[in-house]
Structure formats: structure tokens, C-alpha cells
Structure 1
Amino acid sequence: RDELPEVRVPLVAASSVEPGGFMVKVTAAAMYLFARLNAGPQDAS
């Protein structure tokens, strides 16, 4: 990592998230990831 240059990127959202919407989206993403991880190799794409 010492040979890589330091890069700073500002965090900018494409659109604002409504109050309460953030947790709903994070929970949905987590549930999707858990389902994919638990699906097994036969369901892998």
C-alpha cells in the first residue's frame, strides 16, 4: 500500500434519502446478500 498514491473522493449522494428510508434500504440489501450467501453453489450465477 505504500506505493499507492493517496486519493480522496468526496461522498456525494445522487439523491437524498427520506427519513427512515436508509434503514429500509440497508435492511433490504442485507437480506438479499444473506439469501445469496445461503443459496448454495447450485443457485450461483
Structure 2
Amino acid sequence: SKLYTANGASNDVSVVDLKSRKELRRIKVGDGPWGIAIVSAAK
């Protein structure tokens, strides 16, 4: 499982592996991300 968290100060989103508790990567986004919405792609 993964955790996604918005980082307002650095303008990115962290992707964290919950099992290892390690940050996998950062995704650059627009200025001051405040929250995250996850939408499932239905087929």
C-alpha cells in the first residue's frame, strides 16, 4: 500500500510505501498543494 501526501512548502506530493515507511518519490505539482483526491478509473 502507498500513502500520498501533499507538501505545500515544496510544491510536490510524496509517495510513501507503508510497509517500509520510506518515501518512494516526489511528484512536482502546482504552487501550494493543499490536499489530494484519488479517483479510481472504472472500466
TM-score w.r.t. structure 2 length? 0.18
Greater relative contact order: 1 or 2 (C-alpha under 8 angstroms, separation 6 or more)? Answer: 2
Select the structure that is richer in helix.
Answer: 1
TM-score w.r.t. structure 1 length? 0.17
